[in-house]
Amino acid sequence: MEMEDNIGGEASNSEGGIKEQDRLLPIANVGRIMKKILPPNAKISKEAKETMQECVSEFISFVTSEASVKCRKERRKTVNGDDVCWALGALGFDEFAGPLRRYLDRYREIEDRPNQEKVSANNSGSSARLNLPDRLL
């Protein structure tokens, strides 16, 4: 993807005018996720964070694009969780589609509960609330 400078000095996508900062996940968030899996004393280089930032952002765009094509074919404007699960499977990421489907189903179960039950479930933490290991979140 070719990048060029715009008047404001920020990089933009020549195809759609999207600023790089809008296209990429925040690097602080990427670094935080990376640190969770590493030993406490491990260090992560800026280059490693930037590389991972590019990769995960591209992966999200890739999956979202596939889900969006499905929605357009079905004459829908909104991509939902089911579309993302379908796209993961269609693109050969079945090992992610299954766990995401279970997460989505569990999330929907919790959302359907009365408010008081949701409050107590929310207070127990996200991984406990959805009864999934942290590695799937």
Q: What is the pLDDT of residue 7?
A: 35
Report the percentage of the chain scoring pLDDT > 90. 64
Percent helix, strand and coil across the chain, each to the nearest 5: 65, 5, 30
- Identity of the residue numbered 58: E
pLDDT in tens, 61-95: 999 999 999 999 999 999 999 999 999 999 999 99
Could you state, in order of their start, the residue ranges of all structural domains in the chain?
1-76, 93-137
Are 25 and 52 a contacting pair, CB within 8 Å? no
Neighbours of 5 (CB within 10 A): 9
The answer to whether residue 34 scores a pLDDT higher than 60 is yes
Q: Supply φ then ψ for residue 3, to 5 degrees.
A: -115, 145
Look at 113 and 11; give whichever has higher pLDDT: 113
User: Is CATH 3.30.360.10 the classification given to domain 1-76?
Assistant: no
- Backbone CA torsion sign across 103, 104, 108, 111: positive
The mean pLDDT value for 10-39 works out to 80
Q: What is the largest CA-CA distance in the chain?
A: 52
